[in-house]
Amino acid sequence: MASHWIADRTQAFDSSGIRKVFDLASRLKDPINLSIGQPHFDVPENVKDAYIAAVREGKNGYALTQGMPVLREKLQARIDEKYGHPDRKVFVCSGTSGGLMLALLSLVNPGDEVIVFDPYFVMYDSLTRLAGGEPVYVDTYPDFRIDLERVAAAITPRTKMILCNSPGNPTGVVASREGIEGLARLAREHDIVLLSDEIYSSFCYDGPFESPADFNEQTLVIDGMSKSHAMTGWRLGWAHGPAEVIDTMVKLQQYSFVCAPQPAQWAGAVALETPMDAAVAEYRAKRDRLLAGLEGYYEIAQPGGAFYVFPKAPRCGGEELVRRAIEKNLLIIPGNIFSRQDTHFRISYAAADETIDRGIEVLQQLAQG
């Protein structure tokens, strides 16, 4: 057996529970799949054409580690126009997950504490531990809003970072302007890194998107095109923040991911100019469709963005409800994958309306016992 070869750092977390559900989905016949966190629409045709053209034109070698100018310079211009921060720099990374890993490895020392809001995206906990950090959980139940008093109480001399995600996965909740501004203020006052995961920023249904970078020039932002343009498999993201931090992340990228795929960057420059308003409107309608179907059956905090709903399981834990749902061919994700609590479950409405309606029918049956 080779188990004694395995590095200790890998024992700090388990395989992703979401991936286990994906594996299960592949074995079910015609499942009602409301589990997958990726858009159900396809990449826009003009973006696909740009990718194919890049491949045919021979743009297939290594990209510059910091990103190809065709995309990076366009991103920098947009970020400069939006924020006007003199020290804000951008680079292109291999998806937002790659950016998140590089950020944590660049900034977190062994023993440093990272404040994470519970519930949280699965990678936050695991990658913090991989970097040698210690997650400190701030409970946001039952409404999944930022409680600034709880955040302030969680800050210690060992706190290095606050990690926030709005609109959020798994809840779909959008933080209020007051919560975002207060978080930015706390980070500034305590000289703490504020890392904002903004991958769902395009999907805000009830108001404008608010970034903590609007209120704190030192905020480190991670974003990308996986969700907005359905480019999950293209691994194209970016990060922007203080130049010294970005330069350090680029240095680590040289020795890990090397670069984001070059053809995807040429296509990404086209995607930046491709409006996705119709897709956002469609997903707003899907959210409303799902909420209307579950009204009176489940307790749900209003999801203002992303494409998730995070209901409370009635009369049982989230994992038990998911087990019963799978028996009825419905795939959803138990909330304890994203949380230290087992009270809720995640639904993704990135699916055809027919699939959503079939899921609603099963969920209504489950709620009735």
Residues 6+ apart with CB under 8 A from 318: 334, 335, 336, 342, 343, 344, 345
Distance of CA 67 to the CA centre of its chain: 21
- The mean per-residue pLDDT over the stretch 37-45 comes to 95
pLDDT of 302 reads 95
Q: pLDDT of 182-227, one tens digit each?
A: 999 999 999 999 999 999 999 999 999 999 999 999 999 999 999 9
pLDDT of 9 reads 84
3-43+276-367: which CATH number, 1.10.3720.10, 3.40.50.300, 3.30.70.360, 3.90.1150.10? 3.90.1150.10
Tell me if 183 sits within 8 A of 140, measured CB to CB: no
Q: In which residue ranges of the chain is CATH 3.90.1150.10 found?
A: 3-43+276-367
DSSP string, 304-324: -BTTEE-PBPSSS-HHHHHHH
The CATH code belonging to domain 46-271 is 3.40.640.10
Indicate if the pLDDT at residue 313 is higher than 70: yes
Q: In which residue ranges of the chain is CATH 3.40.640.10 found?
A: 46-271
Indicate if the pLDDT at residue 23 is higher than 70: no
